[in-house]
Structure 1
Amino acid sequence: MHISNKCSIAVHCLIFIYEYGDEKKVTSELLSLSTGCNPVTIRNIVSAMKKDGIIDVKFGTGGATLAIPIQDISLYRICAAVDPKAVDKMISIHSAPSPFCPVGRNIRGVLNRTYDTLKEDVIVSMKSITMEKIVHDYHVILKSGGKMT
């Protein structure tokens, strides 16, 4: 299982906006340099977070700022904003089981209930992790020279 790259890029952008948004105009070009991603990818992610109300973006010269406090931004909200199918992609059943095999014919029915429970648990967990905790972890790692203590 893994969380979509869009989600990690969005978290990266939010940390950057939180840390530097008061002193710098945070543009897609600046976020592109920080994340190592194409500016178009950044603009799409920023646009999705703006649409969800997580950030504000000034028109014209640009500049992103947080629209809500970091303690109100959950990892689930971020991922749902930038990749609405993130949890489904994370926990999914292979796409082409054989209809000629008894296991292949029935695997979806076998796993659906279990995977639905797992998805619910993942969502609850992701909702409990906020940008406040993520920024705290960033500061811990920053102070320790790059190692989580």
Structure 2
Amino acid sequence: MHISNKCSIAVHCLIFIFEYGTEKKVTSELLSLSTGCNPVTIRNILSALKKDGIIEVKSGTGGATLAVPLSKISLYRICHAVDPAAIEKMISIHGTPSPFCPVGRNIGTVLSQTYDTLKKDVISSMESVTMEKIIEDYRALLIRQ
């Protein structure tokens, strides 16, 4: 199981926007240098974050800024914005079990309740982590370096 790397790229971008967005114009090109990702990937992630209302991007000249307080941006909100199917991909039942096998025929039913509980638990955990906490952890790390 893993969380889509789009989520970690989005968090990286949000930290960068928060830390440097008031000093300089944060563009997809600048974020691509920091993340090591293609600018097109960054633009797609920024577009998803903008659509969710997490960031604002100045039309024409560009430049991203946060649109909501850090405490209102949960890890789940970020991941859901950039990869709406992230939880389903993380916790899902394989799609082609044999209908001729008793295990294959019933595995979906057997696991569905347990997996639904796991999904709810993962979402709850991800909602409890905000960008406020992530920025706090980032800054604490900088102090220790």
Root-mean-square deviation (Å): 0.8
2:128 alignment counterpart? 128
How do 1:128-147 and structure 2 match up within 5 A?
Answer: 128-145=128-145
1:55 and 2:46 are equivalent in the alignment: no
- When normalised by structure 1's length, the TM-score is 0.95
Give percent identity, aligned residues only: 78
Shift of 1:141: 1.6
Structure 1 position 6, deviation (Å): 0.7
2:4 paired with 1:4? yes
Paired residue total: 145
Letter of the structure 1 residue corresponding to residue 117 of structure 2: T
Residue of structure 1 in register with 2:40 after alignment: 40
Q: Which residue of 2 aligns with 1:91?
A: 91
Question: 1:99: Cα distance to partner?
Answer: 1.7
Aligned to 2:100: 100
> Structure 1 residue 119 and structure 2 residue 119: aligned?
yes
Instruction: Report 1:70-89 matches (<5 A).
Output: 70-89=70-89
TM-score (norm 2): 0.97
Alpha-carbon distance in structure 1 between the residues aligned to 2:33 and 2:96: 39
Deviation at 1:142, TM superposition (A): 1.6
Q: Which residue of 2 aligns with 1:20?
A: 20
Aligned residue for 2:106, secondary structure, equals helix
Amino acid at match of 2:18: Y
Q: Structure 1, residues 58-103: CA drift from partner, whole Å, max 9, x if none?
A: 0112000000010110001101111000111111112221222111
